[in-house]
A = this chain, B = another copy of it.
Amino acid sequence: MSGKRSLIRSGTTVDQMVRAIGDRIVTGYLRPGEKLDEASLAARFDVSRTPVREALGQLSAMGLVERRPNRGAIVAVVTQEHLASMFESMAELEAICARFSAERMTSSERRGLEIEHQASARMVQLGAEEDYEYFNTEFHSRLYRGAHNTHIHDLTVMTRSRLAPFRRAQFMLPGRLAKSWQEHDLIVTAIMRGDSVAAGKAARDHVSIVSEASAVFATDDRKPIRRDVA
């Protein structure tokens, strides 16, 4: 390789590219529909086209990019319908995680969830959206891990990343923070009681509400597609 690939994490070059490009898609820095030019990406990250190509292939297998033979790759475009199907799936997956968590979390996991959840209440009072988002992510991760099922965990995390670009703006909605916390509270309470049915239902409702909030932004996001690569 010619230069140094600074500031990116370790692993093989291909792995780094998968993460680098994947992050930019998930965080919305690369917009759905945006063209992913192999040469430009290679130049941008100072590697040859080969690892870029492999990375695009893997991202395509993950559903983050779309590849038309001989016609290049673009950031995956999701239709309203597919978006809805992903949110619905997400609700079901979270419901499963919550249900299993209520049944299977160890007492230390339960304690951790409760503590973290209470800590996040402070972020709500402060209206610290950025910080709350951190706690929110952590909260859901705990739920996924608490299900003690690696495959469900993987499916859920995967679906969540694909939805990420459409969920980011949700906390801009006024009062969303407090509402989210209350919904989390329902889930936590049910899990602490070991009430799997209630936990599942609360988690499903939680996602459904997020879904509705996000749908607004999904439609709005349709307009701007162009932007410099990476």
Chain B CB count within 10 A is highest, among A11, A85, A86, A89, for A89
A14 to B57, CA, bound (A): 9
Evaluate whether A150 and B85 lie within 8 angstroms (CB atoms) in the complex, with A54-B54, A61-B58 already known. Answer: yes
B residues less than 8 Å from A151 (CB atoms): 82, 85-86, 88-89, 159
Evaluate whether A89 and B155 lie within 8 angstroms (CB atoms) in the complex, with A11-B69, A82-B150 already known. Answer: yes
Contact with B along A50-84 (1 / 0, CB 8 A): 10011001111111000001100000000001100
Evaluate whether A85 and B54 lie within 8 angstroms (CB atoms) in the complex, with A69-B12, A92-B96 already known. Answer: no
| Minimum distance in angstroms from A114 CB to a CB of chain B | 25
A221 to B88, CA, bound (A): 37
Task: Let me know if B150 and A159 touch, CB within 8 A.
Answer: no
Q: Does A40 interact with chain B (Cβ within 8 Å)? A: no
B residues less than 8 Å from A88 (CB atoms): 149, 151-152
| Minimum distance in angstroms from A128 CB to a CB of chain B | 32
**Contact-residue size bin, chain A (C-beta under 8 Å from the other chain):** 20 to 34
User: Main SS of chain A's interface residues?
Assistant: helix
| Minimum distance in angstroms from A23 CB to a CB of chain B | 16
| Minimum distance in angstroms from A48 CB to a CB of chain B | 12
Partner of A149, one of B89, B152, B154: B89
A63 to B157, CA, bound (A): 14
Chain A 186-225 residues near chain B, CB threshold 8 A: none
Chain A 144-165 residues near chain B, CB threshold 8 A: 149-152, 154-155, 159
Chain B CB count within 10 A is highest, among A57, A58, A85, for A57
B residues less than 8 Å from A149 (CB atoms): 85, 88-89
Could you name 23 residue pairs across A and B whose Cβ atoms are closer than 8 Å?
A: A11-B69, A12-B70, A14-B57, A15-B69, A53-B54, A57-B57, A57-B61, A61-B62, A81-B150, A85-B149, A85-B150, A85-B151, A86-B151, A88-B149, A88-B151, A88-B152, A89-B151, A89-B152, A89-B155, A92-B96, A92-B152, A151-B159, A155-B159
List 3 tightest A-B contacts by C-beta distance, closest first: A61-B61, A58-B61, A89-B151
